Amino acid sequence: MNRPLPLDLPRLVMRRATVVGAAVLLLALALGLQRLEDDVREEVDAAMHLATLVSRLGTLAPLDDASALATLRAMQQEAPLRHLSLHIHRADGLTLLAPPPAQDDDALAALLRLHARMAAPDEPRRVSWLVPRPQGPAWVLSLDATGDSERREALASLVDTLALLLLAIGGLLAVMRWNVRRALAPLAGLVQAIQGLETTGTAAVARLPAMPVRELGAIAAALRHLAGALDAAEHRRRLLGQKLLTLQEDERHHLARELHDELGQRLTALRFDAAWLQRQLAAPQPDRSAGAAELGEVVQGMAQRCAELQADVRQLLVQLDPLGPVARDRAADGQAAGLPLARLVQLLAALVQGWQATPAAGDGPAPRFQASFGLGGETGPLQPLPPGRAESLRLPHALALALYRISQEALTNAARHARASRVELRLALEEDRPAAASAWLHWSVQDDGTGIAQADAALQRGNGLAGMQERVWALGGIWHSGAAGSGTTGGASGGARPGWRLQARLPLPADPPSACSHG
């Protein structure tokens, strides 16, 4: 099983994002330590300011009210108290000194108002005492505990933290965007190469540069593999096109040679006899050199040559169209056109029998040809066809002709090249298939000969294996060729005589073929 490739793009993005995150953490640590130092210093300063205020209060007695209040106001301006607010009232309730109003910016003021709505109000806590004055009524000094200063400091720290977090998120997003854009920049070239497969061929794929990440490298490698497969398929298509272009001329040449060698000689002899007979019949009765008996022999010879000529024409027609016109034309009783399976079985059995009667091509003994037909699958024993089923099942002309031609080619190859002692043709009908096709035909030819050393090279040569494979594929079938028993395409392996097996699985259409589909 193929293991998944490691993903370089996530690792690349996370590595640089980790660097940015670590830098932000170090910055936050440095800022936090600095803020800690500032908070400690502010707390100590606040304590010293409170101590200074207490000490100053003890020195206010000799001063008049105006000077004392001026001194206290100067202290509030220079060093405001933290968490405390100083209030001075006279005994009659007149306020002499109050804390200065806080100067907050709009954002901080808005946050303070939002927090005030969300949080519970502070409970009033106050410490008051009387301070006698030499020139008037005593003062009431009050120190009120307040959380406003601490709240401002906490909100300012929160704003700083949010700014630092925003900076970290922005840095991470910027790094990830830069990484992704840089890593995925070759995607445009990949898309253009894919689009170019239809227009300019595989040249654009071959020009793809090295990819910066492994994922895109795997895609580029897959595209190069696809381009190689397309080039190979295009090469095979050109070879097939060349074979198709030359096949008609080869067939015409073969037909012309047959007509010249067989029919031409017989027609020439028949013409000589007809000319001699014409001369004898044109001569007067006393001048004829041949008697009635000799004339009868010539006429009998002419009749025999006509019969031989008719047999040659019939044999030539069988070679050109082995199935005959019955498979192409619609029957008179209205049945669908096509060849009955029983007729195909007869033709294949006759083909096997014809090879069995053919003498051996070399010095060795002639191979023994066998044929088996029935119900079954690709392997295993065959069951006899039900009565009438072989006659009622009609095969499309293209399918029947393909089965006959690949059988003809396979038996010819086995007899001439395999040096086999046994050749078996098998045709099995499998009908219990819950698929789109109503039935399947399993065809195979197997021998115990020397096999094929290089099956892939054999597929590239001539019209033999390649032609059989193309016929099966054109009908939507599945083709296998390989060492006997392997069922896979490849060279023979193991043993001096591994044998060879050709297999095809062809679907039968669910509906009876129509006459217009037999082309």
Question: What's the per-residue H, E or C state across 319-366?
Answer: HHCCCCHHHCCCCCCCCCCCEEHHHHHHHHHHHHHHHHCCCCCCCCCC
Q: Is the pLDDT of residue 287 over 60?
A: no
Neighbours of 261 (CB within 10 A): 11
Paired with 87 in beta bridges are 142
| pLDDT tens digits, 358-378 | 776 666 677 888 888 988 888
Does pLDDT of 291 surpass 60?
yes
Looking at residue 326, its pLDDT comes to 54
The pLDDT assigned to 445 comes to 92
Task: Kindly state the average pLDDT of the residues 134-142.
Answer: 79
Task: Give pLDDT, residue 285.
Answer: 66
Beta bridge partners of 505: 442, 478
199-212 pLDDT per residue, tens: 777 778 877 888 87
Is the pLDDT at 117 greater than 90? The verdict is no
CB-based burial label for 462 (10 Å; 0-12, 13-18, 19+): exposed
pLDDT surpasses 50 at 519? no
Choice between 81 and 402, residue whose per-residue pLDDT is larger: 402
Q: Is the pLDDT assigned to residue 136 strictly greater than 90?
A: no
Overall average pLDDT of the 267-282 stretch: 78
Predicted confidence band at 496 (pLDDT cuts at 50, 70, 90)?
low
- Give the pair of three-digit tokens for residue 75: 């202290």
- Return the closest-CA partner of residue 148 out of 119, 182, 128, 172: 119
| Euclidean distance between CA atoms 176 and 21, whole angstroms | 12
- SS3 assignment, position 122: coil
pLDDT bucket at 68, cuts 50 / 70 / 90: confident
Q: Does residue 3 register a pLDDT over 70?
A: no
3-state secondary structure (DSSP) of residue 519: coil
Packed helices 8-57 and 214-258: angle between N→C axes, nearest 10 degrees: 170
**Kind of pairing between the strands at 422-430 and 368-375:** parallel
**Residue with the larger pLDDT of the pair 150 and 507:** 507
> Over the chain, what is the mean pLDDT?
76
pLDDT at res. 361: 61
Confidence at 487, pLDDT banded by 50, 70, 90 = very low
CB 337 within 8 A of CB 331: yes
Q: Is pLDDT at 443 greater than 90 in this prediction?
A: yes
